Amino acid sequence: MPEPPVVLLLSGSVRAGSSNESVLRTAQAVAPPTVRTVLYDGLAALPHFNPDDDTDRPPAPVARLRAAIAGATAVLICAPEYAGTLPGSFKNLLDWTVGGVEISDKPVAWVNAAAPGRGGGAEATLRTVLTYTGAAIVESACARLPVDRGIIGEDGTVTSPPVRERLAEIVQQLAAAVAGPVDTAGG
């Protein structure tokens, strides 16, 4: 029996209980049973990017990040916008991917969970860096799904049925992106 596709979930926030993490926990909860999701939790442990340390034996947290990306079929990102761009800690994570080849040609998408009219700077930065790394951006799986605290349940997942449904579609699209073109019409 073939291994199920693995979608790596990367939160751009180090804040406990962030809405970005809630989006990704929801993606885990609604993922089809034929897809495995892995929530990366090493963002806060990554050292500041230093090209001198980007060697064949990078720092252990970087090696774990790169192994997680290498072991994934696809990547789903949910990152906040801070001061008009990505938070520095998440940009640092992305900087560590530039020296590796793990993300090159890998299907990647993001969810913008910011309030309407916000988050465009983070999206633009993601697009720039991911394009530079050679990631394969799955446009149909990139989405704006505003999430405010009022739709996050006690379990830390989003309760809104339309958001949950769209997240399930996104995970499925990413998992299928490796097998060939994704049918975004749903049939």
Encode pLDDT of 153-177 as tens digits: 999 999 999 999 999 999 999 999 8
Within the chain, residue ranges assigned H as helices are: 19-30, 60-70, 88-98, 120-133, 161-177
Q: pLDDT tier at 18 (50, 70, 90 boundaries)?
A: very high
Which of the residue ranges 61-65, 75-79, 178-182 would you say has the lowest mean pLDDT? 178-182
The reported pLDDT for the residue numbered 1 is: 62
Query: What pTM does this model have?
Result: 0.92
pLDDT higher than threshold 50 for residue 10: yes
User: Taking residues 108-124, what's their average pLDDT?
Assistant: 93
- Residue 81 burial class via C-beta count within 10 angstroms: exposed 0-12, middle 13-18, buried 19 and up: buried
Which SS3 state, helix, strand or coil, does residue 81 take? Answer: coil
- Separation CA 147–CA 149 (nearest Å): 7
